[in-house]
């Protein structure tokens, strides 16, 4: 069974067909990219997977259970986390405290346990601190743990956003253009980080990304949308050679060998 299954999903906005009869799967520990020209329906698809929109037709299932029609917080509780759902960085807090705040947001401990400083609350706090340090190490922000988030360079801020997303302990992490604004060196490090997240934490990743060098380097599989419909699915090698994909991107200046600024 696939971790995520999108089955014959359609969504309209008045006379606009944003998605039409789209189907694809994401398997455990895969990195899958959802790509397409501007207006292809990628954001609408992300919104339907994460509960911000409901499909007009079709279904979205996660670990065998439908999540279509659930509220965003209910979808997140199932284990699907979209980066911006909890990655509103607190500029006035340190890097470490941003992660601490994100951990507390998902903590299930009782109010009185915390207020009374019970053993359960102390154990939970200790485990949380270990988790924070592990995530900072993973994303390479250990040395900046005490730095205020507002002082971070843009590339480091994007890493912090991913770190906060990981603080929700997602089974499936959805990232919306994580390479946007990064230089080539930072993009290369992002590719390494995403692979590390899959390998070390077993987190499955679905991302929307316009930087084709990142997409081709990091993806196990790629799903291509155009005008709301799926036109191709396959490995990076298969997508690179797909004439329908090349044709769809011609007007956007697609360059599989480098960044695409469309």
Q: What are the tens digits of pLDDT across the range 171-190?
A: 999 999 999 889 999 999 99
Per-residue pLDDT, 262:
31
Domain that holds residue 23: 1-79+170-262
- Rounded average pLDDT over 240-260: 68
Domains: count for the chain: 2
* pLDDT at residue 84, rounded to an integer: 66
Distance CA 81, CA 169 (A): 9
Q: What is this structure's pTM?
A: 0.87
Provide CB contacts within 8 A for 243, sequence distance 6+: none
Q: Is residue 27 part of a domain?
A: yes
How many CA atoms lie within 13 Å of 105's alpha carbon, on the beta-carbon side?
19
* 8 Å CB contact between 58 and 39: no
CB atoms within 10 A of CB 193: 19
Higher per-residue pLDDT: 88 or 70? 70
Q: For Cα atoms 253, 204, 165, give the angle at the middle one, nearest 5 degrees.
A: 85
103-117 pLDDT per residue, tens: 877 655 554 455 556
Are 110 and 224 within one domain?
no
Q: What is the pLDDT of residue 107?
A: 57
84 domain residue, yes or no: no
CATH number at residue 206: 3.40.50.300
């Amino acid at each position: 069974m696939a971790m995520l299954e999108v089955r014959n999903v359609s969504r309209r906005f008045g006379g606009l067909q944003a998605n039409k009869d789209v189907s694809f799967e994401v398997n455990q520990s895969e990195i899958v990219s959802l790509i397409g020209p501007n207006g292809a329906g990628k954001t609408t698809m992300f919104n339907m997977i994460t509960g911000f929109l409901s499909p007009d037709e079709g279904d979205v299932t996660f670990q065998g259970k439908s999540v279509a029609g659930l509220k965003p917080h209910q979808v997140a509780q199932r284990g699907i986390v979209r980066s911006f759902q909890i990655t509103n960085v607190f500029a006035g807090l340190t890097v470490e405290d941003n992660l601490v705040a994100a951990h507390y947001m998902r903590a299930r401990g009782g109010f009185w346990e915390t207020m009374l400083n019970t053993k359960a609350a102390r154990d939970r706090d200790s485990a949380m601190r270990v988790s924070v340090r592990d995530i900072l190490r993973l994303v390479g922000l250990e040395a900046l743990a005490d730095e205020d988030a507002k002082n971070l360079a843009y590339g480091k801020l994007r890493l912090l956003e991913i770190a906060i997303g990981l603080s929700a302990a997602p089974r499936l992490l959805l990232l919306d253009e994580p390479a946007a604004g990064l230089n080539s060196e930072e993009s290369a490090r992002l590719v390494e980080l995403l692979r590390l997240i899959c390998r070390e934490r077993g987190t499955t990743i679905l991302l929307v990304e316009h930087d084709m060098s990142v997409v081709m380097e990091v993806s196990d599989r790629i799903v291509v949308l155009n005008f709301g419909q799926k036109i191709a699915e396959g490995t990076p090698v298969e997508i690179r050679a797909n004439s329908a994909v090349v044709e769809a991107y011609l007007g956007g200046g697609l360059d599989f060998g480098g960044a695409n600024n469309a």
